[in-house]
Each structure stands twice: as C-alpha cells, then as structure tokens.
Amino acid sequence: MLQLAQRNLFQSKARLLISVGGVGLALMLMLALDAIFSGSEQQLTAYIDNAGADVFVAQSGVYNLHMSASWLPASVVTQVQAVAGVQAVSPIMYLTEMIEVRGERNAAYIIGLPPNATLGKPWRIATGVALPPKGGTVIDQGLAKKYGLNLGDTVKVLGLELKIVGLSEGTSSITNSIAFIAMSDFAQARSVLASTTSGAGMTGMSGSGSGGAAKLVSFVLVQVVPGQSPAAVASRIEAQVSGVTAQSKTAFAAGESKLVRDMAGDVLAIMNTIGFAVGLAVLALTVYIATFARRAEYGALKALGAGNGYLYGVVLTQALISVAMGLGLGLGFTLLLAFLLPLFSSNMALVVSGQSLLTTTLTALVIAILAAILPVIQIAGLDPATVIRRRVQ
C-alpha cells in the first residue's frame, strides 16, 4: 500500500510539487503567523523574564505590565522586604510612553530605575552602561540603529532631553522598545518623587538623588530566598501587605502572554482558517485529480480483487505523505524566515513553539483526512467492470 502510494505520488513530479508546495505554503502561513505571535509574546514578556525578579508586586488589581498603570506608596517597599522568604527588593517606576527622536514618536516602556539597582535593569548591554545616571538613558540598540543614534546623542523621554549612555539588546518588540532612565528623572518628569527608603537587602535604594515627601513607585521587584517558592512568597506578600497584588514571575508573564493572545486571537483564528482552507483546497484538488487520472488502474486493481479498504488506504497514504512533506517544507521555510528576519528587522522575532508545531501537525492530519474523502468516494463508486466495459458489446 505504502509502496503504491509513494510511487503514484512521485511519478507525477509536477503534481507532487503543486500539492506539496501548496500545502507547505498554507501550513507555513499558519506556522509563521503563530511564530510571529509567539515571538511577540516572548518579546513582550522579555522584561518580566529577564528583570531578575521572582515576584512582582503591583497596585491591587493590576495583573499586567502592558496597557496598565500601577502606583504604590513607597512604604510598600519596606513592608514587602519584611515578608518572610524575601531576600531582596527593588522598586521601579513604569509607564507606557513615547521616545521622541527628531520629531518622531516611538512607543516604549519607560522604566525608572534607582541608582545601583540590581533588579529590573537592562540584562544585555551592547555598548555603554546598564544603569542610567540622572540625565541619561539606556535605549534599545535597534531603535538607535534605526535613527543612527550613538552614545552621547540625545532623545526626548517623558518630555526630558536625555543623553544616551547605553544601548541594550533584546529590549524591543513588534510594538515597542524599552527605555531605562533614572528614577529621579522619572519622578521629575511626572512630578512623582521616588522612594529614598533604604534598608538591608534593598537593592539600588541607597544614594537616590531625589528626596521628598511624595513617595510612589510602580512595581516592587522581589527576589526570594533560594529554595522558597515564588508563588508562596507572593501569597504571603498579598496577605501581609495591604493594597497590593503580588504574582510570581511565571504568573505575571503568563498574564502578559494571555493579553497578547487575547488581542491577537481573532487575527490568528482568521489566518489559521485561511491557511487551513487553502491547504485543504490544494491537497483535495491534487489528490482528487491524481485519483481520477488513475481510475482505470484502481478499477483494474478492484477487478483483480483489491478491496475498497486497500484502495482507500492508498489514497489516504498519498494524502498523508503529501501533507507530511508540506509540513516539512512549511516548517523549513518558517525556520528560515525566523533566521533571516532578525537580519532585516530587529523588532520582529519568530519563535516556533512545540505547541504551534503540534497544532499545525494535527491540522495537517485533518487536512489529509478531509482531502482524501472525495477520492475515497470516487473509488467507492468505481465499478471494476469498467476496465472491461469500455467497449460496449
């Protein structure tokens, strides 16, 4: 069965090319689109993943970084520090705002960092320093490249002209980049005074240039004692500190990813449906034509004694081989795209996830089965007598 299916398939190379190419492109559409969104998810959670924190403490009811605002009294920092299982804390200020370069505005997460912060700072630096001093900023190197900016050039962040002191890597996404500024600049720009509280185990809190009455931060980043469960520590923080929502890094990142998925869900569904329909149409048509072209042979096999089950198996195997090759082609193209795209656009990353591969494989399987239905019906209705009856006597 396998031999006949394989030989039938490979005998007509043009038909095979159309079949595999069509299915491959359709599956690539599905894989690539999912990879783009998976890449975006990774990019959007990059800060959460790499900030070094095990737990994120936000204003009560705030579960996301994206499209949200969180303000906490700075006194929360010391309260969180006092919770059992907490090793170190570091506050950050955060807003979704614009970086203005030569009159052009670019969406960005603006992170205000205290001096000497060990949590929440850029995790990979291409050039310059990681922690911006007052009057300085660290921006994504992709943004810098886009405008031909270098260390020492200035950009406008939160309305302040800040000098570029460092270029970070892995801090851009399809929608925005991340800019790091001094917490004191952040506070000045937004008339919010940064916390100056300091204490044992608090990273980056000492030596803050700003002192003042109003003490607000956006998030408190927490490092837990080794061996402690971040989820358990987060629960303890919520129980002991009022007015906060504490989530483990995993939960916080999952919430962020869900937000992206929710926003992109409809687009993904539509494109996946289109990909499915295109793949199905191409494969169904080519398998049907291939079966039709060989109906005399199938009729002869029936006359010789082959059962319908055997012939159905041949057709289904042909469809399965086609989609398997199409899937390989689609995956190959997607991986190639994932490799090539960063070379041309630093804002986009394609990530082929195991889940996406599994979903696409199952989709391909469904395509193969559905594509085989019409040819199977064709074979079921094929009268073996037609092999002899072509001449009416």
Q: Which stretch binds other proteins (CB under 8 A): 16-24, 59-67, 254-262, 293-301?
A: 293-301
C-alpha torsion sign, points 197, 202, 208, 214: negative
Q: Which stretch binds other proteins (CB under 8 A): 33-41, 151-159, 172-180, 289-297?
A: 289-297
Query: Of 226 and 309, which has the nearer Cβ to other proteins?
Result: 309
Angle between helices 13-44 and 308-344 (to 10 degrees): 50
The answer to whether residue 211 forms part of the interface with other proteins (CB under 8 A) is: no
* In the complex, least distance from residue 303 CB atom to other proteins, rounded to whole angstroms: 6
* In the complex, least distance from residue 383 CB atom to other proteins, rounded to whole angstroms: 8
**C-beta separation of 271 from 30 below 8 A:** yes
User: Which residues fall within 8 angstroms of residue 59, CB to CB, at 6 or more apart?
Assistant: 70, 71, 72, 243, 244, 245
CA angle 37, 148, 100 (to 5 degrees): 70
Amino acid at 163: K
Nearest to 347 by CA among 107, 158, 103, 128: 107
* In the complex, least distance from residue 286 CB atom to other proteins, rounded to whole angstroms: 16
Instruction: Give Cα separations from 96 to 171, 267, 348 (angstroms).
Output: 14, 24, 19
C-alpha torsion sign, points 284, 320, 372, 380: positive
Give dist(CA 187, CA 113) in Å, integer. 10
Nearest to 255 by CA among 54, 13, 45: 45
* In the complex, least distance from residue 384 CB atom to other proteins, rounded to whole angstroms: 5
The answer to whether residue 61 forms part of the interface with other proteins (CB under 8 A) is: no
The answer to whether residue 388 forms part of the interface with other proteins (CB under 8 A) is: yes
* In the complex, least distance from residue 365 CB atom to other proteins, rounded to whole angstroms: 25
Instruction: Tell me which residues in 172-191 interact with other proteins (CB under 8 A).
Output: none
Query: Of 305 and 354, which has the nearer Cβ to other proteins?
Result: 305
The answer to whether residue 105 forms part of the interface with other proteins (CB under 8 A) is: no
The answer to whether residue 15 forms part of the interface with other proteins (CB under 8 A) is: no
Out of 8, 45, 210, 317, which residue is the one contacting other proteins (CB under 8 A)?
Answer: 8
Query: Of 66 and 294, which has the nearer Cβ to other proteins?
Result: 294
Give dist(CA 98, CA 110) in Å, integer. 8
The answer to whether residue 145 forms part of the interface with other proteins (CB under 8 A) is: no
The answer to whether residue 4 forms part of the interface with other proteins (CB under 8 A) is: yes
- Over the window 307 to 346, marking each residue x when it contacts other proteins by CB under 8 A and - when it does not, the resulting string is x--x------------------------------------
Nearest to 139 by CA among 95, 48, 126, 186: 126
Buried b (16+ CB within 10 A) or exposed e, 355-383: ebbeebbebbeebbeebbbbbbebbeebe
Query: Of 8 and 40, which has the nearer Cβ to other proteins?
Result: 8
The answer to whether residue 301 forms part of the interface with other proteins (CB under 8 A) is: yes
Nearest to 271 by CA among 35, 16, 7, 92: 35
**C-beta separation of 214 from 220 below 8 A:** no
Out of 227, 305, 354, 381, which residue is the one contacting other proteins (CB under 8 A)?
Answer: 305
Size of the site for other proteins (CB under 8 A): 28
Out of 263, 300, 337, 357, which residue is the one contacting other proteins (CB under 8 A)?
Answer: 300
Residues forming contacts to other proteins in the complex (CB under 8 A) are 3-4, 7-8, 10-11, 294, 296-297, 299-307, 310, 384-385, 387-393
